A and B are shown apart, each in its own frame.
Chain A
Amino acid sequence: MTWKKKGWLLISLFEVERTIENLLSEIAVTDNPDIIRSRTFIIKELVEWYEHYVDKIISSHKKGEEIAESLNMEMSELQQRFKEVLNNVIKSTKLSGLQVELRELTEIAAELEEIKHLLTSKESQEDLEEMIKPLAGDKDSEDSYRKEKLWTDIDEEMEAKEGVKGEWAVVKYVLLKKKAEEIRKRANDLNLILNSLDELTQKLVDLTNAFLKLFKDESK
């Protein structure tokens, strides 16, 4: 995806490849040195960009996998914490077989699946355009903050290594990052509530034990 303050455009790699091939074909059939020179220049530029962009895609995919893996671990921790909370409730009631699921955990798990899906799925260009619109705005609309919305850590890293090579973004990575941020925020919020629930259910266990102890020894 290439973008500017005044709008954005989604260009597939196949399109770039086709363009290069077309330019090469032109060179192959012409004797005009100006055309050969100009097309050669464009091909060189496009190939450079292609190489740079493929590197960015590879980095983004790798980073995306890392993010998914990290979220997966956080998700497991949350599940484990909820299990402990539920265990405290079971301990406090002395009931076995109590099975309750937490809606937020189910929702976060579903969102995490969406991230994993983004890493492997092949959406059409139209679908991708629809998906990025809420973040990038309409294709032709002006947005002073577009760069902030589409600039990622991968851009930071590559800029540091190779300098600025145009305002281009990997759409799926931008979408994945946005989704991951949302999941992480929900997970953090849930984690805080689980902290308080952990205390509350521990209190519940203590109260239950104190309650049963009141008459336990005396009624023997």
Chain B
Amino acid sequence: MSLNESTKTCPLFLNISKRIAETIVSRSPFPLNVNVINVTDLQQVIGRRVEFLQTEIEKAKNAKTKIHSLYEVEQSLVDTLKKLESLKMFYEKFWEEKIPQILSEKRKEIAQKYEETLTTLQGEIDNFRDFDKIAEKSEKTQLKIGELNKKAQKLFPQYEELFENIKRLLKAGSMFVERFKNNVLPKLEKSDKHKIESVLESFVTLYEGALAWLDEMLNNISEKGTHISDLPKTHKTIFEEERKLREALIKEIKDLQEQETLILMKIVETSASRRTSWLPLTEACKIVAQQIGIPSDKAKEIIMDIYEKGFLSVAIGF
């Protein structure tokens, strides 16, 4: 569906209004076949004409006000549909997959109904002959489009929600770095802490940069309706960079074996994403086993080794 200016309802209303005004103005004030008139009749004819025009101007102004109100609502709908389209493009380019079908269908349905409103109006508009009709019809059209606009507005947060997961991941990543810095880094004795700090800084730069970029993109779309064409970043480029930094971090940690480091990072990461300091041991074993791809017993054994080395605390309770 095209959303360019020529397919909007307002120009249709404005064009027909202009035509009606021209028709009204070009009507001869004199009765047909009048060639000679006396001055009193002329005064009456002109007086009636002035009154007629004044009435028509008031009706036209009323119609124009209604068209302007319609314009506000219609512009809002058009903008929202464009923004939804931009969010869809952004999502599909970033994740390299289609947006959920239900969201896509909802947007299409709104756009379809808007198109139907336009088509119906295009079929009727040439029959409008006066400003009362224009005012009445633009008011009705505004109600219809207003309903569509409400639906589109409701849809907007659902589209924005599509980016919440990646934002949560990035925020959790930042929290992982912070926890790693506070809880793991001070306990390292055999590793080069400066190098590790440098890698952790790179993590921060990656997460915060990606988060800021995402926010800016979403803000540009929702505030300015920016059209999305090519993206400098996708989820792949971010995750690839993150993977390299993880490898660098694992390589720099000499106090633990690679697998121990990997499991420790998973535990820090999980607790950070849950915003908690403690994880049940059984659950920690299960998560580690799943994500690293080792049996749960083995995972428990490694976790206990890490604990033995002083990098984790194990709680005891009843």
Contact = CB atoms under 8 A, between A and B. Distances in A.
Interface stretch (B36-44, B79-87, B118-126, B157-165): B36-44
Given A103-B37, A104-B38, A200-B47, A219 B25 contact: no
A27 interface: no
B53 A207 contact: yes
A82 to B, nearest CB: 9
B25 A103 contact: no
Contact of B34 (A100, A203, A218): A100
Q: Is the interface of A mostly helix, strand, loop or mixed?
A: helix
Given A207-B50, A211-B25, A101 B43 contact: no
A200 B24 contact: no
A214 interface: yes
A208 B39 contact: no
A208 B53 contact: yes
Contacts of B29: 89, 93
Contact of A212 (B25, B39, B47): B25
B37 A101 contact: yes
Given A215-B18, A218-B14, A106 B26 contact: no
Contact of A204 (B37, B39, B53): B53
Interface stretch (A39-47, A168-176, A190-198): A190-198
Contacts of A98: 28, 30
A94 interface: yes
B238 to A, nearest CB: 47
The dominant DSSP class at the B interface is helix
A79 to B, nearest CB: 13
B248 interface: no
Interface residues of B, number: 34
B46 A94 contact: no
B203 to A, nearest CB: 55
A29 interface: no
Contacts of A197: 39, 42-43, 46
Interface residues of A, number: 33
Interface in B224-244: none
Nearest to A207: B53
B35 A99 contact: yes
B21 interface: yes
A216 interface: yes
B301 to A, nearest CB: 78
Contacts of B28: 93, 95, 98
A92 interface: yes
B72 to A, nearest CB: 14
A105 to B, nearest CB: 9
13 contacts: A89-B46, A98-B28, A99-B35, A101-B36, A104-B39, A190-B39, A193-B40, A197-B46, A207-B57, A211-B56, A214-B21, A215-B60, A219-B17
Interface of A: 85, 89, 92-95, 98-104, 106, 190, 193-194, 196-197, 200-201, 203-204, 207-208, 210-212, 214-216, 218-219
5 shortest interchain CB distances as A-B pairs = A219-B14, A215-B18, A103-B38, A219-B18, A207-B53
Given A193-B39, A214-B17, A215-B18, 16 more contacts: A92-B25, A93-B25, A93-B26, A93-B29, A94-B26, A95-B26, A98-B30, A100-B30, A100-B35, A100-B42, A103-B36, A200-B50, A210-B57, A214-B21, A214-B64, A215-B64
